Structures are given as structure tokens and as C-alpha cells.
Amino acid sequence: MKWIDCTAHALHEALLKKEVSSKELVTAFFERIASVDKKTFSYLTQLKEAAFSQADQADQQIAKDAAGPLTGIPMALKDNLCAEGVQTSCASKILAGFVSPYDATVVSRLREAGAIFLGKTNLDEFAMGSSNENSAFDATRNPWDLDRVPGGSSGGSAAAVAASEAVFALGSDTGGSIRQPAAFCGVVGLKPTYGRVSRYGLVAFASSLDQIGPLTHDVTDAAIVLNAISGDDPMDSTCLDLPVPDFTASMPSKMEGIRLGIPKEYFIEGIDAEVGAAVEKAIDAYRKLGAEIKEISLPHTDYAVAAYYILATAEASSNLARYDGVRYGHRTTAPKDLLEMYMQSRSEGFGPEVKRRIMIGTHVLSSGYYDAYYKKGQQVRTLIKQDFDEAFQSVDCILTPTAPSAAFKAGEKTNDPLQMYLSDIFTISVNLAGLPALSMPCGFTAEGLPIGLHLITKHFDEERLLQVAYAFEQCHDFHQRRPQLG
């Protein structure tokens, strides 16, 4: 296997044994990016000069036997994460020319861990989308089939990992934006508990839903990255001061006595037959491993999409009000007055999906509609959380498909927003409840497209989540497969 196809933990061993240097890894990855990124369009910005400088520092640390598990490991950042001195665009024209003056907390923690930043990855504009087709610059393609979408909004990060253009990447997840692209691209995507990882320096979409997490080749790498980015942060009042366990310590595991819940509301008509069959095989695999399989009910699941698109758009309307052409980013030319400057700057800078969500959010927060929509959405959110709380009294982990289908073709759903929103029907409830969840590959369709398995555990139980995921991963080689891009 080539170095670019290796996991972070395999590369760490190779670096310690002096089988390869960090500089050689960075060279190999930029050669790979030059070769295939014109097909996938995973990156918006490449950071070659800075990456080689970081590699030199990493090699010095390795020579001193002072290397941590991520020292010298090349990775990518979703372009809604601030990195000092680097453009942060959120794939939007309204942030044209904006260079971040500071690092997001997760970025500074990865710097301290010795990780090397190859660049910033593409996304749906302001993380609003399920296919990566809403980028203002170009749509990312799925490495397994370039005619299909990689999922969204962290499609660039998922595609970069799947195409071996980075060892791992960070994404953000507001309603499934790490897990759904992970499923479509055949990688592992982890959304931590809300409050486990600092959001400081993440450009906000919906502040009560957003969470940062890793996209990796396997479960072990997800645990390693989560170790590095978790923990209290005084810069984020929603980040909780709780002990951070060594998530890799829970990996060697057995399933005896583990209770897996299968929610009947997630196994319904409309799921692609190949997806359903692959998930059923995964359930059988867990049964053979000794897990107890139990049917459960999450009765308010049907209301999740509606509640989400009220709450998320309301928060987006508020958060995106700051982009007004005054302080940074795009400003229209020669407006006749201040009001026209505001209106034209926003009209020119935002894409159609962002405008749609801002208008929906403004409407649900407006006088006369607040109680009917926003308040009702918050009440439904409470009911959804209570469904999960009750379920976790009888099970340790919940298992569902990640998405109702494998990756769909580019352009297939762009003219039907509702069908696009339904792509996240199995992931949205997790964000409303603030729970940790993970998607991992559990099979492939007849056309060779990855299928995702979705695991959910109770708040701050990422150890159990990783334990259950790792046990299944040891039963197959799905995570070792790579797309053929030439």
C-alpha cells in the first residue's frame, strides 16, 4: 500500500521507525492532490509553503523522539474553520478576500499535536447543503463515481480522505454534514457530543446544532483525532469542562452484553434496497459478535426534519446577519445609500440556498409567527431528546442507516429542495438531541458505491460509540478499500 493510502496510526509507526519522513509524506500528498484534485475538486486552498515548514518542524520532533500520534501527519481543514493567516471563505462569495486573524481552537490544538495542514476543503456554502453542489466555486465530486455527489456539507473533507488527498480531515456537522458525506465516500465520520469539542473559530451556521469532528480512514484514527481536539475551552461557553478519556483505550472490545437498539421508524419504505440489505448484514454481524439486538421506538422521528429546518434556519438568519458589506468580505460597488449597500452586498454575495434559508429563518422568527414555528420547533426538539433518553435506558447504542441511499447523481436533487433535505432524515435527530454519532462503511452497492452504517450513543459516551464501531470494523475490509482514480 502507498503511503498516501495509510492510516494516521500506520504512518505514525512508519515515522517513528524512520521508514519515511514527514517531508516525504507532504511531498507525496501534494503530488496526489496535483494528480487527482482536478477530478474531485476537494480543495479550495492549498498551503504548500506552510505545510513544508510544518513538516521540517515535525521531522525535528521525531528525531528527538518527541513525536505524538499526529506529529507529521498531513491533514485537511474544512473551509469554515479559521486558520491564522489563511483565507476562510465558507465557499461563499460574500467572504471573498477574508483572511482569518486567528486559529480556531481545534486548529490550534492540531498545530500543538504536530499535524500538518495541507489546505482548506470545499463545502456547501456556509455548510448549508447535502451534496456539496452549493459551493460558490465548484462542486466536489465523489471519488468512487465522479458523476455523483460526495454528500454535504463536508463533502470536500470526505472526498479528500477517500481519494487519499489527506490522511484525515476535519468537518462540521449541523444536521449530518460529517456523517452523510462519510457514508457517501466510504470513510469514517464522527460527530461528537455537543459540548465535547470547542466551536470557537468555526464560522457559525446554527450555533445550538454545529459540532466539529473528524473524517478518517478507520475508527482508530477517529479516536486519535478526537483525543487531540476534545476538551474544555474558555473561548466557547457551550464547551463543557469534563474529563477527556483516552478514546483509543476503548478500542479492543467485545460485544457480549452490549445492547443494540434498532429503531423501527428508521427502517421504512423508501430506503434503497441495497442500503437496507447492507445494514441488515451489519446487524447480523453484531448478533454473531454477541450483542443483544432489540427493537426500539423513537416516536417523534417523523417531525425531526420539519423541526430542524425551522430551528437551523432561524439560527442561520441571526448568525448570517453579520455579513453586511461593512466590516469584511464582499461589498457592492457604488451603492446610492447605506440600505442599498446592505441589500446589494448580501444579494450578490450569498448563493440561492443560503438566501432560501435566511428567508425561512427570518420568517419563522418574525412577529406573529414565532410561537407557531420557532417555539413549536423547540418543543418538538425536547420531545425528540426525550425519545433518545428513554431509549438509552434499555440499550447502549442505536444502529440505523446513515442515509436512505448511496450517493446520488450530481444535479439529481438540485431542483427539489425537499428531496435534498430528506437526504439527512436519519442524521438530523442526533443534532437536535446533541448526541454523539458515527458513520462507517458497511458495504457497497452493485455499482461499487459505499453504504454507511450509523451508530448513536448517549451524551458524552464516545468511548462506547468507538467501541461498538471498532468491533464491527474488525469483521470486514470495507475501510481498507480505496477508489480507483488513476
Tell which residue, 306, 87, 109, has the closest CA to residue 212.
109
- β-pairing, 259-263 vs 397-401, is parallel
Q: Which three cell numbers stand for residue 158?
A: 470526505
Residues of the chain with pLDDT under 50: none
Residue 480's alpha-carbon distances to 219, 283, 383, 475, in angstroms, are 11, 20, 39, 12
DSSP code per residue over 149-216? ---SSSHHHHHHHHTTS-SEEEEEESSSTTHHHHHHHTSEEEEPPTTTB--TTBPPSSTTT-EEEEEE
Kind and range of the H or E run holding 40? helix 22-40
- Measured CA to CA, the distance from residue 340 to residue 362 in angstroms comes to 19
- Measured CA to CA, the distance from residue 285 to residue 338 in angstroms comes to 63
pLDDT in the model for residue 147: 97
Instruction: Specify the amino acid at residue 138.
Output: D
- Measured CA to CA, the distance from residue 27 to residue 21 in angstroms comes to 10
Tell which residue, 79, 102, 78, has the closest CA to residue 89.
79
Residue 126, beta-bridge partner list: none
pLDDT in the model for residue 205: 96
pLDDT in the model for residue 423: 79
pLDDT in the model for residue 201: 98
Kind and range of the H or E run holding 295? strand 292-296
pLDDT in the model for residue 226: 98
Greatest CA separation found in the chain?
Answer: 71
Residue 77, beta-bridge partner list: 120, 170
- Measured CA to CA, the distance from residue 279 to residue 226 in angstroms comes to 26
**3-250 CATH, one of 3.40.640.10, 3.60.15.10, 3.90.1300.10, 3.40.50.880:** 3.90.1300.10
- Measured CA to CA, the distance from residue 358 to residue 247 in angstroms comes to 38
- Measured CA to CA, the distance from residue 425 to residue 301 in angstroms comes to 9
Q: Using an 8 Å Cβ cutoff, are 182 and 158 in contact?
A: yes
* Active site members: 78, 153, 177
pLDDT in the model for residue 1: 60
